[in-house]
């Protein structure tokens, strides 16, 4: 299991344009990528302008596959000017 978290800070006035693109990217990832197990798009009403992603992939290679897909590249290009800040963290499951 390979988890990815992303925190976006969206520029003022861009949230309405950003969210449909973000949701479409998440839905396509789960539907079309065999290694994408979960892709949650989250917001907090008390923190307008922030979007948190929680993604689960089969392994790190599945995440790299995600980054190479046409739908992700298209999403990334379309939203780049809407994002004020982006933080990505990755985590691997510890086998006990």
Instruction: Read off the pLDDT of residues 4-29 as tens digits, 9 standing for 90 and up.
Output: 999 999 999 999 999 999 999 999 99
Instruction: Tell whether 31 is covered by a domain.
Output: yes
- In which order are the strands placed within the sheet that holds 83-92? 36-42, 50-57, 2-10, 83-92
Range of the domain at 61: 2-90
> Distances from the Cα of 43 to the Cαs of 2, 91, 93, in angstroms?
22, 21, 25
User: The pTM is what?
Assistant: 0.93
Q: What are phi and psi of 54, to 5 degrees?
A: -130, 115
Q: Name the nearest CA neighbour of 22 among 49, 68, 48, 53.
A: 53
- The total number of structural domains in the chain stands at 1
- Which CATH number do you get for residue 70? 3.30.70.100
Instruction: Read off the pLDDT of residues 77-93 as tens digits, 9 standing for 90 and up.
Output: 999 999 999 999 999 98
């Amino acid at each position: 299991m390979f988890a990815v978290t992303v925190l976006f800070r969206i520029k003022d006035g861009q949230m309405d344009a950003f969210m449909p693109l973000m949701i479409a990217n998440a839905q396509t990832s789960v539907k079309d990528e065999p290694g994408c197990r979960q892709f949650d798009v989250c917001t907090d009403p008390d923190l307008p302008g922030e979007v948190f992603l929680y993604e689960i992939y089969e392994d790190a290679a599945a995440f790299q596959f995600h980054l190479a897909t046409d739908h992700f590249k298209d999403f990334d290009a379309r939203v780049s000017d809407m994002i004020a800040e982006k933080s990505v963290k990755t985590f691997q499951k510890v086998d006990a």
